[in-house]
Amino acid sequence: MASPRTLIDKIWESRLIDSKPEGDLIYIDLHLFNEVTSPQAFEGLKLKGREVRRPELCMATADHDVPTGKPGLQVLDEIADKQLRFQKTYCKEFGIEHYPMSSSGNGIIHVLGPEKGLTQPGMTIVCGDSHTATHGAFGAIAFGIGTSQVEHVLATQTLRLSRPKTMSVTFMGTPHPDATAKDLALAVINTLGTDGGTGYLIEFRGDVVHNLSMEGRMTLCNMAIEAGARSGLVAPDETTFAYLKGKERSPKGSLWDLAVDYWHSLATDPGAQFEKEIEIDVTGLGPMVTWGVNPAQSVPVGSKIPSLESFATKSERDAAVAALSYMGLEPGISVSDIPIHTVFIGSCTNGRLEDLQAAARVLAGRKVSSSIRALVVPGSASIKREAERLGIDKVFSKAGFEWRSPGCSMCVGMNGDVVPPGKHSASTSNRNFEGRQGPGARTHLVSPETAAATAVLGRIASPSDLPQVNKKKGK
């Protein structure tokens, strides 16, 4: 009998074309593009006179550079404009499915794949973007690649890679009801550190994970990269199938049944070994917030920034000193004393409909504090339409949020949406690196619910910190 295998082993082996000491050659089922990391790959391809091998396995969107203000707004600068035009040109030239700025199918690349049913269990998916990990939520091996590798996949539809090691992360216990997938993700990174996952693909396991919606799983897998892992995966289950059923590009008719049978077989076999197995006790875990300049530097909302003595190693302590100096904060102060200036809800981490609904529930009948600039940027045009149909846009606008058009926006600050220098933001994005949200910007990563509560109180707070809404005035 064959020995038991993990989900990761099964997918890897099913896509394996050749195995050599210098690495495995694996087939890529879906290649996604944004406008920023691919121009040079297409240029390289053309310079060598090569063709795109499988345009029908490629999909492109414009997300990093697009303005998210009122429709018809100009792109930030000439170069953004050049990248957007470039993308249009090569997608046309090579016959690639493309959702340009302002088109009705546009959105953040990692939101679009799942939304269109292009992301399915058992696939290998790559994109010149590290948050490709998001697609792992469906039980796919999905990871970010550099521009040379983009070119390699364009030309060959394969990659030569050292086989990643496997890690299981199993959540134990029951988190606090206020904990979201984002808080789980921050807890994972806090436990593993920013490089604990280096060299690994992670399978997230346990009831806590399988009780998450697909949106929650995407949030969790999205941030696996912030623990250094190439990607995070969740084994496909009934929640996955229910999400996929009826999506534009999901299998139809008898193919659906065939596919589901196969997807069922992907789950890790009982007794299969991972190269590393980690358990994280999330009993009582509640809303989390980052205080430093990497996503591992986090504490529970309502608690204090750690004292320098509390760090186990000198390098962690040095990192904390550098982080606090950039953030203009002191060790030991309460995170609720941090003056917040901007609240951003959006990104491929937390810009899906469910995230907007969760934030809207907190905001209903409430007002954004006068000291706060708050904006919400849906992850895709279709999410924006759906939210408007449900009246969620009204809840945001009434509360004092700017309701904007889809794009990466303030997650990366490339389109002109930035946090002013020296100001603090509470952001539902994934990276609190120095300058990530604009030069000098000081980012605190939080869930959509915490972002909404923070906007109302003007300081980092969770929904349970909010006074009750007067029910008569509410709605």
Within positions 202 to 241, which residues make up the interface with other proteins, using CB under 8 A? 228-230
In 3D, which of 327, 334, 339 has the Cα closest to residue 304?
334
Interaction residues for other proteins, span 80-109 (CB under 8 A): 80, 82-83, 86, 91-92, 95-99, 103, 105
Lay out the site mask for ligand SF4 across 243-262 (x = CB under 6 A, - = otherwise).
--------------------
Q: Is 408 in the site for ligand SF4 (CB under 6 A)?
A: yes
Could you tell me which residues are beta bridge partners of residue 289? Answer: 299
Q: Is 412 in the site for ligand SF4 (CB under 6 A)?
A: yes
Q: Is 453 in the site for ligand SF4 (CB under 6 A)?
A: no
SS3 278: strand
321 is in the binding site of which of other proteins, ligand SF4, none (Cβ under 5 to 8 A by kind)? Answer: none
239 is in the binding site of which of ligand SF4, other proteins, none (Cβ under 5 to 8 A by kind)? Answer: none
Q: Is 242 in the site for other proteins (CB under 8 A)?
A: no
Span of 308-316, 329-337, 404-412, 455-463 interacting with ligand SF4 by CB under 6 A: 404-412
DSSP 408: S
Task: Judge residue 258's burial from the number of C-beta atoms within 10 Å of its C-beta, 0-12 exposed, 13-18 middle, 19 or more buried.
Answer: exposed
Could you tell me which residues are beta bridge partners of residue 49? Answer: none
Report the alpha-carbon distance of residue 451 to residue 310 in Å, rounded: 27
With CB under 6 A as the contact rule, the residue among 9, 24, 63, 434 that binds ligand SF4 is: 63
With CB under 8 A as the contact rule, the residue among 4, 13, 17, 339 that binds other proteins is: 17
Task: Judge residue 390's burial from the number of C-beta atoms within 10 Å of its C-beta, 0-12 exposed, 13-18 middle, 19 or more buried.
Answer: middle
Size of the site for other proteins (CB under 8 A): 95
With CB under 6 A as the contact rule, the residue among 15, 110, 116, 152 that binds ligand SF4 is: 110
CA distances from 171 to 168, 203, 366, 429, 459 (A): 10, 11, 34, 23, 30
Q: Is 419 in the site for ligand SF4 (CB under 6 A)?
A: no
Lay out the site mask for ligand SF4 across 324-353 (x = CB under 6 A, - = otherwise).
-----------------------xx-----
Q: Is 130 in the site for other proteins (CB under 8 A)?
A: yes
Q: Is 7 in the site for other proteins (CB under 8 A)?
A: no
Query: To 10 degrees, the CA torsion angle through 327, 333, 334, 338?
Result: -30
Interaction residues for other proteins, span 434-473 (CB under 8 A): 434-436, 439
CA distances from 366 to 369, 376, 399, 457, 465 (A): 9, 16, 6, 10, 13
User: Nearer to other proteins by C-beta: 32 or 453?
Assistant: 32
215 is in the binding site of which of other proteins, ligand SF4, none (Cβ under 5 to 8 A by kind)? Answer: none
Other beta carbons within 10 Å of 109: 28
With CB under 8 A as the contact rule, the residue among 88, 174, 237, 256 that binds other proteins is: 256
Beta strands (DSSP E) in 45-100 are 58-61, 97-99
Q: What are phi and psi of 46, to 5 degrees?
A: -70, -40
408 is in the binding site of which of ligand SF4, other proteins, none (Cβ under 5 to 8 A by kind)? Answer: ligand SF4
Q: HSE (CB half, 13 Å, CA atoms) of 474? A: 12
Q: What angle do CA 289, 229, 227 make, to 5 degrees?
A: 20
Q: Is 162 in the site for other proteins (CB under 8 A)?
A: yes
Q: How far is the CB of 107 from ligand SF4 (least distance, A)?
A: 10
Q: Is 137 in the site for other proteins (CB under 8 A)?
A: no
Residues contacting residue 161 through CB under 8 Å, at least 6 positions apart: 23, 24, 26
Residue ranges binding ligand SF4 (CB under 6 A): 63-64, 108, 110, 129, 131, 347-348, 408, 411-412, 429-430
